Amino acid sequence: MKEKVYLIGMGEYKIASNPTTLVSSGIGSCVVICLYDRTKKIGGMAHAMLPQTPEDYKIDDDEEDGARYVDRAVQLLVSNMKSLGCDSSNMMAKIAGGANMFSTLGTYSREIGENNVEMTKKILAEMGIKLVAESTGGTTGRSVEFNLITGVVSIVTKL
Amino acid sequence: MSLNQKLSLEVTEKLNHISEVAGRNASEALSKLTDQKLEVVIMGFEVVSIEDINDVLDADDVVTAVYLEIKGDLNGGIILAFPERSSLSLVDILLKKSDGETVSIDDMAKSVLKETGNILAGNYLAALSNYLKLNALESIPDITSDSAESIMNSLAIEISRHSFEALLFKMNFVVDKAVIKGQMIIFFDSDSAKKMIDALK
């Protein structure tokens, strides 16, 4: 079977099964969450922008903006993988992003990368999913490739 | 109401005119600074949703980007981006070095490029403020080198503080017969864009 490659843009997520590579490029302060069930060889990637869903967020908007917020992005990845027969006890997570590209950029965006990473870890812990690897923080942008044949997540930086 | 819905034909024409006036003002400053003939293409403006901002810069590779925040009646940012080779050539010209002498963006090069950003942004915003009678001042500049996508990704997060769409002006310029190519992108958050539109009515 020919390997499929899906590009996951800002605010998007995708669940797929082997043989597939999920790719997300140009990650600055955003965080990319990769979940993998090794036994089923099913995985998902979300490219989230902001830590927490606002209280007044309309749930009807989810279809387009599902993975805009870290908390919902993780929940959507987990629930969609479960609907394909995965068990959260078999899922492992790898995350990347949360960089601070400009030191003088507003306080909001300086902190947002860090908050995105913290929120990801918090939600994963609450859902009982093990975080096995991370490439987070710093001042450099990243691109992420998630191979669902092997579960390997590769990080590419331009510098 | 989304920004696009607020843009009447009359307002669109006026915004295009502002883009032209402010863009020319900024490019004349760069022309004087480099003492080189400058070709400028004013790309006009567009309303961009936050999820599409990563693709705004026309570059696949590493760029050197100077960023300045816009504060006052209008809030947003200005980004001046050069492909890596262009940024080195620009430093050669500004420091009156021979072509190819600058091989990396050291502290002196950073300082020169930041000052270039300062001058361009200051001239652009002066023309804009004058036309709209709205206050818009630039912050001190910051500089980084990375993939164009990653740089815009971080700016998207900054914009998302206020809204999930932005009004974005673009201009491309070529200095010294295409030795240096660059892009300047000026964006305003949703509230600022509405103020601009109201000021033009």
Q: Which two tokens stand for residue B111?
A: 């300082």
pLDDT tens, A106-155?
556 668 889 999 999 999 999 999 999 999 999 899 999 999 999 999 99
pLDDT tens, A61-89?
545 558 989 999 999 999 999 999 999 99
For residue B126, pLDDT beyond 80: yes
Q: Which two tokens stand for residue B118?
A: 């300062």
Residues in CB range of B74: below 8 A, 6 or more apart? B128, B132, B134, B135, B136, B188, B192, B195, B196
Which of B68, B69, B153 should one mutate to test binding to chain A, selecting the residue with the greatest count of A CBs within 10 A? Answer: B153
Omega within 30 of 0 (cis) for the link into B141: no
Report CA-CA distances (Å) from A31 to A63, A159, B66, B193.
19, 19, 23, 28
- What is the end-to-end Cα distance of chain A in Å, rounded? 35
Residues in CB range of A64: below 8 A, 6 or more apart? A11
pLDDT tens, B164-183?
888 888 888 887 666 788 88
For residue B88, name the pLDDT band (cuts at 50, 70, 90).
very high
Sign of torsion over alpha carbons A128, A129, A135, A137: negative
CATH of B3-200, one of 3.30.300.130, 3.40.1550.10, 3.40.50.80, 3.30.200.20: 3.40.1550.10
Three-state DSSP class for A34? strand
Instruction: Tell me if chain B has a CB within 8 Å of the CB of A9.
Output: yes
- Which of B54, B61, B146 shows the shortest C-beta gap to A10? B54
Instruction: Tell me if chain B has a CB within 8 Å of the CB of A98.
Output: no
Q: Bridge partners of B83? A: B63
B65, B145 contact by CB (below 8 A)? yes
| Interchain pair B151, A101: CB under 8 A | yes
B49, B2 contact by CB (below 8 A)? no
Residues in CB range of A59: below 8 A, 6 or more apart? none
Beta-strand relationship, A142-147 and B38-49 = unpaired
A68, A99 contact by CB (below 8 A)? no
B40, B171 contact by CB (below 8 A)? yes
Q: To the nearest whole angstrom, how far is the Cα of A158 from the nearest Cα of chain B?
A: 6
Domains of chain A (ranges; CATH) run: 4-154 (3.30.1330.200)
Average pLDDT for chain B:
86
